[in-house]
Amino acid sequence: AQSVTQLDSQVPVFEEAPVELRCNYSSSVSVYLFWYVQYPNQGLQLLLKYLSGSTLVKGINGFEAEFNKSQTSFHLRKPSVHISDTAEYFCAVSEITGTASKLTFGTGTRLQVTL
């Protein structure tokens, strides 16, 4: 069975500083990987995804993530954060098998950006 570990429950960072949110996954088969963002009182919005090909993927709002198969990681990065990036971020994995595209989510990382 697939699983996802987000190593940090909270990440405080100053505005304009770089940030990395860590995500590790476990699966016995090939996977698709996703990052979602949730702003207060809203549903989840897709930030970016890795399906195949280049291991560095770029998403919305200046975020990017790198897939590392040997370390089973998919860390999210942004070189310079803004106050508006304050939100909760979820990493998710989907095994490439089966009839429905079940996603398994991590427990989330709350990014708090301050001045």
Q: What are phi and psi of 52, to 5 degrees?
A: -170, 175
Residue number, 45 or 80, with CB nearest to another protein: 45
Distance between CA 52 and CA 57 in Å, rounded?
Answer: 10
Is residue 37 part of the contact set for another protein (CB under 8 A)? no
Is residue 112 part of the contact set for another protein (CB under 8 A)? no
Helix, strand, coil percent content, the chain, rounded in steps of 5: 5, 50, 45
Q: Residues 35, 90: contact at Cβ < 8 Å?
A: yes
Tokens representing residue 2 in the block: 């697939």
Is residue 42 part of the contact set for another protein (CB under 8 A)? yes
Is residue 43 part of the contact set for another protein (CB under 8 A)? yes
**Shortest gap between Cβ of 81 and another protein (angstroms)?**
22
Enumerate binding residues for another protein (CB under 8 A): 6, 9, 32, 34, 36, 41-46, 49, 51, 90, 94, 96, 99-108
